[in-house]
Amino acid sequence: MLLATLAIIVGLLLLIWAADRFVDGAAATARYFGMPQLLIGIVIIGFGTSAPEMIVSALSALNGNPGIALGNAYGSNITNIALILGFTALILPLAVNSQVLKQELPMLIFVTALSAFLIMDGAVTRTDAWILLATFALYMGWSIWHGLKNRDDTLGDEVLEELNTRENMPLGKSIIWLLIGLAVLMGSSQLLVWGAVEIAHHFGVSDLVIGLTIVAIGTSLPELASSIMAARKGEVDLAVGNIIGSNLFNTLAVVGISGSISPMQVGHEMFSRDMLVMSVLTVLLLIFGFGKPGRINRVEGLILLLAYIGYNYYLFQTAL
């Protein structure tokens, strides 16, 4: 038990560190080979910041732990909206720009509905996975095309601002950090998954519950840190866009990659409880954004946070 807990803590710390090093190395390498900055921001940083969720879920599916794979993906979405945006809005009300309201949030609602439809039959098949990955490819293609065509829009400003915070390093150093980051990502993810499975077995709870809670919170820590930093700097318009982008990656790429590695059975509670909570929170986010002209206030942040506490309380009450 102690060893498993230590494995989770060390695995999470290494996972967060490795994801950052991986992104730094990949972005600097892409810069060296002349990739447009906007493309680096959308593709490399987008993938890199969701690397913890992707690798943890992929290894979980490979190891025969679909509960952790799916729980991590959907649990991260719930954590992102209810815990991270709720907590951040309590610090400082969050601005929601018009592009997020008109394009990205409706897209997230569509993707959430698509995901719910695909798991209604109680499984994520390889066909389902490829549908999600194809949708993800189309979304990424549109984002890249739109970003390159409208370089002065909010999307372009956000990704370039994020890219400018990354270190510009020589090619040799960037490749070394890229490889080290990837290797540590793989190792720390395996360590985290092992620890999570051991704790689940010790307490007699399902892998799904551990994936929805401990693993989901851990892999969402980078988003929490970046959202709090954005709020403290007064860049509150970045937090919501970052979270929506992360949720799109989780729903499409993370579940898609996991399902393409190994088809996964989905328990009825995943659809009737977790998918329902995720869907309600996503719609609630849209309502809050339109309710006050482009702003999530502290009261709404408290509502999201209380929803997260209530959801987790229910999870553990029914699991133990």
Task: Tell me the pLDDT tens digit for each residue of 207-231.
Answer: 888 888 888 888 787 777 767 766 6
pLDDT above 70 for 46: no
**Domains with residue ranges and CATH for the chain:** 2-319 (1.20.1420.30)
pLDDT above 60 for 162: no
Q: pTM for this one?
A: 0.84
**pLDDT at residue 266, rounded to an integer:** 84
pLDDT interval class at 110 (50, 70, 90):
very high
Q: How far is CA 192 from CA 22, 29, 78, 187, in A?
A: 18, 28, 20, 9
pLDDT above 90 for 255: yes
Q: Which among 4, 25, 22, 2 is positioned nearest to 14, based on CA atoms? A: 22
Instruction: Note whether 291 and 90 are within 8 A (CB).
Output: no
Average pLDDT, the chain: 81
**pLDDT at residue 58, rounded to an integer:** 86
**pLDDT at residue 40, rounded to an integer:** 61
**pLDDT at residue 145, rounded to an integer:** 78
Q: How far is CA 8 from CA 75, 189, 199, in A?
A: 17, 9, 9
For every residue of 79-133, DSSP letters joined together read: IIIIIIIHHHHHHSPEE--HHIIIIIHHHHHHHHHHHHHHHTTSEE-HHHHHHHH
**Which positions ≥6 away from 255 have C-beta within 8 Å?**
57, 69, 70, 73, 74, 115, 124, 129, 132
pLDDT, greater one: 22 or 292: 22
Q: What is the pLDDT of residues 57-95, one digit of tens each?
A: 888 888 888 888 898 899 999 999 999 999 888 888 877
H helix intervals, 33-65: 37-39, 46-49, 51-62
β-pairing, 94-95 vs 123-124, is unpaired
Helix (H, G, I), strand (E, B) or coil at 211: helix
pLDDT above 80 for 30: no
**pLDDT at residue 236, rounded to an integer:** 58
Q: What is the pLDDT of residues 274-309, one digit of tens each?
A: 999 999 999 998 888 877 666 788 899 999 999 999
Percent of the chain with pLDDT over 70: 80
Which token pair is 108?
């997230």
For every residue of 233-281, DSSP letters joined together read: TT-HHHHHHHHHHHHHIIIIIIHHHHHHHS-EE--HHIIIIIIHHHHHH
Q: Which among 269, 268, 266, 272 is positioned nearest to 61, based on CA atoms? A: 266
pLDDT above 80 for 56: yes
The CA distance from 237 to 154, in Å, is: 10
Q: How many CB atoms lie within 10 A of CB 42?
A: 25
- CA–chain centroid gap for 208, Å, is 17
Instruction: Note whether 73 and 118 are within 8 A (CB).
Output: no
The CA distance from 261 to 20, in Å, is: 25
pLDDT, greater one: 1 or 287: 287
**pLDDT at residue 105, rounded to an integer:** 86
Q: How many CB atoms lie within 10 A of CB 1?
A: 9
pLDDT above 80 for 108: yes
Percent of the chain with pLDDT over 90: 24
User: Is residue 239 classed exposed, middle or buried when 0-12, 13-18 and 19+ CB atoms within 10 A define those classes?
Assistant: buried
